[in-house]
Amino acid sequence: MDHNQDRLALPVGTTLDRFIMRKQEDFPYATGELSQLLRDIALAAKIVNREINRSGLIDITGAYGQQNVQGEEQQKLDVIANIRFIRALRNGGEVCTVISEEDEDMIQTGKNQGKYVVAIDPLDGSSNIDVNVSIGTIFSIYRRQSAIGQEGTQEDCLQKGVHQVAAGYVIYGSSTMLVYTTGNGVNGFTYEASLGEFFLSHPNITTPPSGNIYSINEGSANSFPEGVKQFVQYCKDSSFSARYIGSLVADFHRNLLKGGIYIYPATAKNTNGKLRLMYECNALAFIVEQAGGKASNGQKRLMEIEPTSLHQRCPLYIGSTELVDKAESFLSPEPAEAVAAREA
């Protein structure tokens, strides 16, 4: 075939499935199960993407009328996404147990031969659907610790972030992207709807060591720890840009690519922070570290935190290494009682 013919049919790129297959040798212990699990997550993401894209047409936006275990009002698409991902993980057969931000207890899949447990936030930022703002899915994958053949245990689910074997997120925005790591760098895939495939679009993502973006909800500034107030003032004095979408995945994704820091600190209302360690923080910490960045609870490496409950919350300082280091330099240990007393 000559060059003119080549130009008539340019390559479309590397699909997610093909990329995963090429990387299977990175996991000699997995013999294909982890690869299949990642495909199951990608399939569910395609289905959720479809539901989101037609949400304004079939009355699945807005509140569902119930609260989740966090005491937050569920949106209809929260429920739909939760069902879709759990169903895909159950049908895939590689996962023995799932924990979801939307469910109080562990979900046993009935696949007791499965080698993995998954922690998932099925639809982060779902209240932004009604105004067409980017939202996302966040997931963590761990190898089970209990014996194969029995139901997964709470100990399987409550592992430190350093024990993740894979983590990722899907961002549903102007384009839909799946970004994940298996501990060998970070790669991003963009969904091509006409072909129904994710294609490698952002290979070997590295985050800048510094940046000039800070992302924090300054509406709660009066109840921030003093060190956070000082860091925010430092950002303003340094002519940083304030960028806060209100969807964690969207804010994180932007900062990952452009450089910056995202902060959700402890406040008077949420003395342990608001974000969930198992469903949000650990996954993004794994990704940002693999991309050359840093994640902290303000005092220590976030992935070293010992989880004690499924829905444990923690403060989050994540992004470019120099900015996270700078933020930590403004912070000092502060008892929870002192945080709660700030507005008393």
User: Would 95 be classed as within a structural domain?
Assistant: yes
- Residues 45 and 155 placed together within one structural domain of the fold: yes
User: Would 313 be classed as within a structural domain?
Assistant: yes
User: Would 11 be classed as within a structural domain?
Assistant: no
Instruction: Return the higher-pLDDT residue of 6 and 301.
Output: 301
User: Would 258 be classed as within a structural domain?
Assistant: yes
CATH number at residue 263: 3.40.190.80
Token couple for 231: 């860091």
| Per-residue pLDDT tens digits for 253-293 | 999 999 999 999 998 888 899 999 999 999 999 999 999 99
> What per-residue confidence (pLDDT) applies to 57?
47
- Residues 96 and 228 placed together within one structural domain of the fold: no
- Residues 80 and 135 placed together within one structural domain of the fold: yes
- For residue 250, name the pLDDT band (cuts at 50, 70, 90): very high
| Residues 321, 32: Cα–Cα separation, whole Å | 34
- Residues 40 and 182 placed together within one structural domain of the fold: yes
User: Would 262 be classed as within a structural domain?
Assistant: yes
Radius of gyration of the chain (CA): 20
Q: Please answer whether residues 268 and 339 qualify as being in contact, where contact means their C-beta atoms are separated by less than 8 angstroms.
A: yes
| Per-residue pLDDT tens digits for 156-193 | 999 999 999 999 999 998 899 999 999 999 999 999 99
Q: Is 126 annotated as contributing to ligand binding? A: yes
User: Would 208 be classed as within a structural domain?
Assistant: no
| Domain-terminating residue out of 178, 202, 226 | 202
- Residues 117 and 160 placed together within one structural domain of the fold: yes
- Residues 110 and 244 placed together within one structural domain of the fold: no
Q: What average pLDDT does range 93-98 have in this prediction? A: 96
Q: How many domains does the chain have?
A: 2
| Residues 301, 279: Cα–Cα separation, whole Å | 17
> What per-residue confidence (pLDDT) applies to 60?
46
Q: What sign has the CA pseudo-torsion 162, 167, 171, 176?
A: positive
Token couple for 99: 């924990």
> What per-residue confidence (pLDDT) applies to 46?
96
| Per-residue pLDDT tens digits for 116-157 | 999 999 999 877 877 888 999 999 999 999 999 999 999 999
DSSP characters over 169-219:
EEEESSSEEEEEESSS-EEEEEEETTTTEEEEEETT----S--SEEE--GG
- Residues 198 and 244 placed together within one structural domain of the fold: no
User: Would 34 be classed as within a structural domain?
Assistant: yes
| Per-residue pLDDT tens digits for 20-44 | 888 877 666 656 788 899 999 999 9
| Residues 7, 22: Cα–Cα separation, whole Å | 26
| Domain-terminating residue out of 151, 175, 202 | 202
- Residues 195 and 273 placed together within one structural domain of the fold: no
- Residues 249 and 189 placed together within one structural domain of the fold: no
- Residues 176 and 220 placed together within one structural domain of the fold: no
Q: Does 226 have pLDDT greater than 90?
A: yes
Q: Is 123 annotated as contributing to ligand binding? A: yes
> What per-residue confidence (pLDDT) applies to 58?
46
- Residues 57 and 186 placed together within one structural domain of the fold: yes
| Residues 315, 295: Cα–Cα separation, whole Å | 10
User: Which residues 6+ apart lie within 8 Å of 278 measured at CB?
Assistant: 99, 119, 140, 157, 158, 307, 310, 311, 312
What residue numbers bound the domain in which 312 lies?
213-341
Q: Is 125 annotated as contributing to ligand binding? A: yes
Neighbours of 39 (CB within 10 A): 17
Q: Does 95 have pLDDT greater than 80?
A: yes
- For residue 196, name the pLDDT band (cuts at 50, 70, 90): very high
- Residues 193 and 235 placed together within one structural domain of the fold: no
Q: Which of 90, 91, 109, 88 is nearest to 41 (CA)?
A: 88
Q: Is 325 annotated as contributing to ligand binding? A: no
User: Would 219 be classed as within a structural domain?
Assistant: yes
Q: Does 64 have pLDDT greater than 50?
A: no
164-172 and 176-181 as β-strands: parallel, antiparallel, unpaired?
antiparallel
Share of the chain above pLDDT 90, in %: 74
Q: Does 72 have pLDDT greater than 60?
A: no
Q: How many angstroms separate the first and last alpha carbons of the chain?
A: 77
With H, G, I as helix, E, B as strand and everything else as coil, classify residue 73: strand
Lowest mean pLDDT among 4-8, 109-113, 297-301: 4-8
CATH number at residue 193: 3.30.540.10
Q: Is 101 annotated as contributing to ligand binding? A: yes
| Mean pLDDT score across all residues of the chain | 89
| Residues 36, 280: Cα–Cα separation, whole Å | 22
DSSP characters over 296-343:
ESSSSBGGG----STT-B--EEEE-HHHHHHHHHH-----HHHHHHTT
Question: Which pTM was predicted?
Answer: 0.89
Share of the chain above pLDDT 70, in %: 85
| Per-residue pLDDT tens digits for 292-330 | 999 999 999 999 999 999 999 999 999 999 999 999 999
Q: Does 63 have pLDDT greater than 80?
A: no
| Domain-terminating residue out of 137, 170, 202 | 202
Q: Please answer whether residues 107 and 117 qualify as being in contact, where contact means their C-beta atoms are separated by less than 8 angstroms.
A: no
Q: Is 124 annotated as contributing to ligand binding? A: yes
